[in-house]
Amino acid sequence: MRRLIPLAILTLGAVFLGATLIPPRNPGAFDVVGFGRLPVLANGRIKPMDTVARSSLLVIHGRQHLTTPDGNRPLLSADGHELTPVEWLLDVFYRPERADTYAVFTIDNPDLLALIGRNDENLAIVYTGRLERMEATLGMIDARYRQFSYREIAPWRRAIEAQAKLAEPVDEAARSPFQRAVVQLAGDLGQYDRLKSALVAPDSPDFLGELLAFQSELPAGVAAVRARQAGEPHDEAAARAMIDLGRRYVDLAAATNLLAIPPDAGADDPDKWRTTGQALLETFQTGEVNPAALAYAGLGYAWRQQRPGQFNHLIGLFRDDLARRMGTRLARTDAEVRFNAADPFLSSMVIYLVAFFLAVVSWLKWPQVLGRGAFWLVALAWTAATAGILTRMWLEGRPPVTNLYSSALFVGWGAVALCLVLEAIYRNAIASVAAGLIGFSTLIIALYLSLAGDTMEMMRAVLDSNFWLGTHVVVVTTGYASTFLAGCLALIYVIRGVFTRSLDRATADALARMVYGIVCFATLFSFVGTVLGGIWADQSWGRFWGWDPKENGAVMIVLWNALILHARRGGIIRQRGLMCLAIFGNIVNSWSWFGTNMLGVGLHSYGFTEAAFWWLSAFVASQLAVIAVANLPLEKWRSFAPVPR
């Protein structure tokens, strides 16, 4: 029966993963899934409304689901289902007076809370149940309000913007916590305003009626304007009405950066997409209101009036029209919606965590059975992550690594791939433990990085090269992955040796061979990737090497891995020394990967991030602590057979 346990574990993991592939369904009578599949152009990329909703919520709210103001329960719609990101976006577009009541803005800074009239008394959440009061006291649920609606913040909008203007000239790294918080809130409010004006005029209760009246009055109004300009007799009221509409649509065009009106042809050309306001301004030349603008206005009317039949019929007609004009591009946005719903990286993260604990338990009980089950779970999670990375590559038309987010995905993916090879060779669950730890950790890092918004952003022109992204970036990131893997294996060596009795000589020798082999692999890829980066820099910026912080970080990894190999080969260090140097390699690696990006200088800087700085500092401290523990006298190690010095 024990032989069937690995198969049962794999089956349960596959069922869990398969459940995420079920196509998303409409939570109510409205075809919100169909609306989420409609394409728009934002930040230089064609994406579905579903992605706009999710990324906007991540930036503004910090998560993809809405909660009640106390942050402890999901926000429900009128018919009782949990409000989806697309439904929130529909309310922002078409029922802003309702969307303004949703608590989507998160504020933690005490000075900023004071600015909007909040204090200890009105921030406290009053729970009626004894259990809830206990949970709040223990910090299991929020004891203070952190999330606020636009309606609550609006009275202090001018004060917020004034403080943000004072903070903007200050260098980002030098801003105080209050300045960073107020700039962030002002930016979130600005993005919220731009969404409100994306499809219809937010101050119009019946934008469809306005457009239909505009269409019918257009010939007479344009004739009156032309007669007025020529000094001929004209209808002054009609001319003024048409001029006022022109100014209104100019303001609407400037109020958003979401290009929702597709071109008749050449959908991949970003210069041909327009905002609703721009499309309406073209009406003065064409003499006809753009059909897409009318379609969005009609959807808004049906949403406001709560007419699901009319809404769903318009979605069908609009998508049929888009299919004729956009073809395969529409299929790609549909696939992105399915990808968003499946969220393969979240599924992989859960499976990696289960595999990690299963592999650890295998050291204590049923090593062959549970170790094999952990291996198959790691392979399953890696397969899901591979599918996710390949899907992102297809959607972007890019190699796997284009930004910091995708580098976190690829570092984890590459390290786990090496772990699968090691586990297939040694079959001692050590590589499975490392795979679970690295896979889970890198996906957690990626989850945090996704809070910046859309993770499939457009590349800067100087970096817009699929060849170099597919060579230098992939190779050097593989060097990151393998260096981290060597450090993780060394951590397992030290922790098992000092805190358990499971590190016998055979296991210690196997770990030493793993670490040494992976360091060799990391040295090769780090060196080749760094040289390729210099060639790319020479082509892009006219110099091979410029002592940029990121370039220095890359060469530090090469030199540190080379130092490990020379020290081991020359007999300067033995097993424990090898492990200590490999663990310190985690520090060098993390500095090159993240630390250089937070300096705010150099061509590779992504800006200073306070939270990332403290997490990086904590990580460095943890690695130094493990190195200190590793240098305890051998008699302090709990292993039955003390390992060589």
pLDDT tens-digit series, residues 182-231? 999 999 999 999 999 999 999 888 999 999 998 888 888 878 877 887 78
**CA-to-CA distance for 376 and 46, rounded, in angstroms?**
37
**CA-to-CA distance for 100 and 106, rounded, in angstroms?**
14
**3-state class of 633 per DSSP?**
coil
pLDDT at 39 over 70: yes
Q: Compute the mean pLDDT over every residue in the chain, rounded to the nearest whole number.
A: 88
**CA-to-CA distance for 90 and 96, rounded, in angstroms?**
9
600 or 170, which is more confident?
A: 170
**CA-to-CA distance for 58 and 49, rounded, in angstroms?**
14
Quickly state the pLDDT bin for 462 (edges 50, 70, 90).
Answer: very low
Amino acid at 2: R
**Contact by Cβ (8 Å): 399, 393:** yes
Quickly state the pLDDT bin for 464 (edges 50, 70, 90).
Answer: low
CA nearest to 85, candidates 207, 29, 93, 107: 93
pLDDT at 640: 47
469-486 confidence digits (pLDDT tens) = 778 889 999 999 999 999
Quickly state the pLDDT bin for 460 (edges 50, 70, 90).
Answer: low
**CA-to-CA distance for 290 and 286, rounded, in angstroms?**
9
pLDDT at 528: 93
What is the 3-class SS of 303-349, one letter each residue? HHCCCHHHHHHHHHHHHHHHHHHHCHHHHHHHHHHHHHHHCHHHHHH
**Contact by Cβ (8 Å): 454, 43:** yes
pLDDT at 357: 95
pLDDT at 238: 83
**CA-to-CA distance for 563 and 453, rounded, in angstroms?**
39
- Residues with Cβ within 8 Å of 97's Cβ and at least 6 positions away in sequence, in order, are none
235 or 159, which is more confident?
A: 159
361-401 confidence digits (pLDDT tens) = 998 888 888 999 999 999 999 999 999 999 999 998 888 98
pLDDT at 459: 55
**Contact by Cβ (8 Å): 37, 337:** yes
**Contact by Cβ (8 Å): 261, 200:** no
Count CA within 13 A, CB hemisphere, residue 245.
24
Quickly state the pLDDT bin for 495 (edges 50, 70, 90).
Answer: very high
Point out the least confidently predicted range of 210-219, 453-462, 553-562, 583-592. 453-462
